[in-house]
A = this chain, B = another copy of it.
């Protein structure tokens, strides 16, 4: 059986790294922002904004859409979460401080997504876009498809 969400210890460690990262950058990871990040991390998969809002409210926080969207906007600017536009969802970044160049492998079946921070994956593609005069943005390329687990499920029952 698959795990439903991240182990609390791993969440704690992840949060600690995020705190250190913000401290180093002089950015303000407030309790609210930290709490939203914690929720995103704990899911271990892309989360929608209104799920986060519900979760905040369930914890007794006051909350409305701007509450969560503002927190997410901050977290994305800090590189702590990434927005997956094809999924309208937000994914915690496992390595704040990295380049976030590479891909996100987004499974249409189970909804999970894997961030692969490997610039060498996309560099050959991006380099060729120069021929079109196109300057690609830094960031992750979203690749929809079927993940390993779902593929095995499908192929070997």
Question: A146 contacts B135, CB within 8 Å?
Answer: yes
A114 to B122, CA, bound (A): 19
A55 at the interface (CB under 8 A from B): no
Residues of B close to A134: CB separation below 8 A = 105, 107, 114, 143, 145-148, 151
Residues of B close to A142: CB separation below 8 A = 86, 141-142
A48 to B84, CA, bound (A): 19
A30 at the interface (CB under 8 A from B): no
Residues of B close to A122: CB separation below 8 A = 125
A108 at the interface (CB under 8 A from B): yes
A133 to B122, CA, bound (A): 18
Question: B144 contacts A136, CB within 8 Å?
Answer: yes
**Of all chain B residues, which has the CB nearest A134?**
B105
Question: B116 contacts A132, CB within 8 Å?
Answer: yes
Residues of B close to A139: CB separation below 8 A = 144
Residues of B close to A85: CB separation below 8 A = 85-86
List residues of chain A with CB under 8 Å of any chain B CB: 85-86, 103, 105, 107-108, 114, 116, 121-122, 124-126, 128-129, 132-137, 139, 141-149, 151-152
